[in-house]
A and B are shown apart, each in its own frame.
Chain A
Amino acid sequence: DTEVTQTPKHLVMGMTNKKSLKCEQHMGHRAMYWYKQKAKKPPELMFVYSYEKLSINESVPSRFSPECPNSSLLNLHLHALQPEDSALYLCASSLQHLGGLAGGSSYNEQFFGPGTRLTVL
């Protein structure tokens, strides 16, 4: 299994709703990431989990709450979002959150899921 899956594919929510985005991988990767991508813009890093622990939070507002229940799953809990939070939310995973591994045996590249298209009304 060499893919990252994300659910739901599309999500429309109001500003008072609480919803969750889910991400799953079964490649044995120990690093998982959340990115936000606006139209015609590059992905922007939000969070990094390494060995199920939050290692990087890019000063993301608290209305976004990540969770890593185990090494295969990554959630993003959403609460009281704003319309400007509408975007494509991408999950990614890599072998580890490091540079290329010793001996060039791995680039440690990130594998991306198909994303969740979120619209906040």
Chain B
Amino acid sequence: GQNIDQPTEMTATEGAIVQINCTYQTSGFNGLFWYQQHAGEAPTFLSYNVLDGLEEKGRFSSFLSRSKGYSYLLLKELQMKDSASYLCAVRDKDDYKLSFGAGTTVTVRA
């Protein structure tokens, strides 16, 4: 199984940078996903890491360290529309199931 931990809430100012950390303990690892979920809407895929290092995609970057069981999602040049919940999800290498963290609610203030 998976044990996934991420902060409950974060607040930042428009134009700033926010880093959302995710730690996990897993019996088998086959990749880590970050999803964005606006209130009442479906989660949408943001990024995927399976090897150590940084993946950059526009204003969003995600980092993975498998030895530390650690990932972060970096949101740059924050915009009001980035206010949402950000879910860290780990895929199991044996049954390929996704286990989600509880999500981090990011509030962007003007």
Contact = CB atoms under 8 A, between A and B. Distances in A.
Interface of A: 4, 40-45, 48, 56, 88, 90, 97-100, 107-115, 117
B97 A45 contact: yes
B18 interface: no
Contact of B48 (A56, A88, A97, A107): A107
Contacts of B40: 88, 115, 117
A42 B93 contact: no
A99 B91 contact: yes
Given A100-B31, A109-B48, A45 B98 contact: yes
Contacts of B43: 43, 90, 112
B21 interface: no
A97 B93 CA distance: 11
A87 to B, nearest CB: 12
Chain A interface helix/strand/loop/mixed: loop
Interface residues of B, number: 25
A115 B42 CA distance: 6
B42 A42 contact: no
Interface of B: 30-31, 33, 35, 40-45, 48, 50, 87, 89, 91, 93, 95-103
Nearest to B35: A112
Contact of A42 (B31, B50, B95, B100): B100
A100 B100 contact: no
Nearest to A58: B97
Given A42-B87, A90-B42, A99-B91, A110 B98 contact: yes
Contact of B95 (A56, A108, A111, A114): A56
Nearest to B102: A42
B48 A113 contact: no
A41 B48 contact: no
Contacts of B30: 99-100
Nearest to B97: A45
A114 B41 CA distance: 5
B45 A110 contact: yes
B56 to A, nearest CB: 15
A41 B93 contact: no
